[in-house]
Amino acid sequence: MVNVFDEQNRLTGTRVLPLDEAYKAIGLPIRPPDVQSGRGRVLWATGSSAGLIYICLSDTPGSGPGYVAVVNAMTGILSGVIRAELPTATGRANPRFNPAGVIVPTLGAADAHLVIADRDMQVVAVY
Amino acid sequence: MGKNCLTILFDTYSAAVMSQVSPALKRRRWCVVLSSLFLIGAPAVSPQVRSSRPVRSLQPVTVIDLRDSTQSETGMTCDDIRDITEVGTRWAVLLDCPAQKSALVWGDEKSKHFLSVDGPFDRIAMDSAYNLVLRSVPAASSDATIGLTRAIVLDATGAVSRRLTIKSRGVRPFQVAGTVRWATQSGSFTDAELNSVDTAHLNTYILTPTKIHLNGSMS
């Protein structure tokens, strides 16, 4: 959900974020969050000065890539999905699930560039 | 005289088509058969229609491994990244380090800067003048129990320019459109928490002053 407030912190509108549409756009199944197993659908969200909300999808393959939905903050409409190729770190290598050692996109920021970081590996990728 | 091949083919096809239509349409045999020809080759409609929203692939233009570079630049071996932020083309990264220290790394397409600061801090935000706001870890003091949040402001050169104490529990700094404000939530974001996150972003998107803006009382 998105709540829109004006300068006086008055609620002016509420919109539903199109997460289902984002998952559909990348061809992944639409699954509701599972609180018991800890499986969510969003890793992080951030905004840009262009009025876009960047939402990193979490229910995606662990070996990458990272998927970031881009939503217009004022309309709530999905404007697209970024398929971010992630760098590797030796500490992330797992022979079975992540042989290349692709980083986990645990943090993100966006403005002129999209920035994705792996908190534990201390790796930052600028796009 | 026998029917030619085309006539036989048409009769067979039209019989197959007419067997599928209602009696009312059987009186318009030619129209129905001709219309059906336009449908041959039309794609089947799938119930699983894929979204037409574009998926754009991006490759990183820069990859920074901060583990080694922070150690060589600050002399500290840091544990992990606590927070990151970006305004324009400038990004900044806050790292958690041993002995109540934090490391700060900021840069753009041309350069990187490293700084060691007494902390620890757990949140970072930046305004349009590239001032950096670092929030102290509430658990590091008794402030959390009395509802105080402390933060420092560093100017674009990394020098401490202000120290803030905010009378509100659990606030975190964030910025969009170059304005630093505070939101009363923290931690990683889930679907349920997106509400407040986006609320915060929209607030700052609408408001675009270039000074540091505090949503809460200062003491």
Summarize pLDDT for B118-153 with one digit per residue, the tens: 989 988 988 888 888 888 886 645 656 666 677 888
Q: What is the residue range of B176's domain?
A: 67-206
> What total number of domains does chain A contain?
1
Query: How big is chain B, counted in residues?
Result: 219
What pTM, to 2 d.p., does this model score?
0.73
Cis peptide before A105 (omega within 30 of 0): no
**A114-118 sheet: strands from edge to edge:** A107-110, A114-118, A123-126, B62-65
Is A49's CB within 8 Å of B85's CB? no
Residues B116 and B173 in one domain: yes
Closest CA–CA distance from residue A82 to any residue of chain B (Å): 5
pLDDT confidence tier of residue B162, bands split at 50, 70 and 90: confident
Q: What is the residue range of A6's domain?
A: 2-126
Closest CA–CA distance from residue A95 to any residue of chain B (Å): 22
For chain A, say whether B112 makes contact (Cβ under 8 Å): no
Question: N- to C-terminal Cα distance for chain B?
Answer: 107
The pLDDT score that the predictor gives to residue A126 is 97
Residues B117 and B194 in one domain: yes
- Tell me the percentage of chain A whose pLDDT exceeds 70: 88
- A96's CB contacts (< 8 A; 6+ apart) are none
Residues B159 and B99 in one domain: yes
> Which residue of chain B has the CA closest to A51?
B205
Closest CA–CA distance from residue A56 to any residue of chain B (Å): 10
Residues B123 and B72 in one domain: yes
Looking at the predicted structure, is the pLDDT value of residue B215 above 70? no
> What is the pLDDT averaged over residues A21-32?
91
Query: Is A94:A110 a contact under the CB 8 Å cutoff?
Result: no
Residues B132 and B201 in one domain: yes
The pLDDT score that the predictor gives to residue B133 is 86
The pLDDT score that the predictor gives to residue A99 is 94
Looking at the predicted structure, is the pLDDT value of residue B40 above 80? no
User: Of the ranges A90-94, B56-60, B138-142, B154-158, which one carries the lowest mean pLDDT score?
Assistant: B138-142
Is A82's CB within 8 Å of B58's CB? yes
> What is the pLDDT averaged over residues B48-61?
78
User: What sign has the CA pseudo-torsion B142, B146, B147, B151?
Assistant: negative
User: Of the ranges A29-43, A51-65, B71-85, B179-193, which one carries the lowest mean pLDDT score?
Assistant: B179-193
Is B56's CB within 8 Å of A9's CB? no
For chain A, say whether B18 makes contact (Cβ under 8 Å): no
The pLDDT score that the predictor gives to residue B104 is 96
Tell me the average pLDDT of chain B.
68
> What total number of domains does chain B contain?
2
pLDDT confidence tier of residue A53, bands split at 50, 70 and 90: confident
Angle between the B5-18 and B29-39 helix axes, to the nearest 10 degrees?
Answer: 90
The pLDDT score that the predictor gives to residue A52 is 82
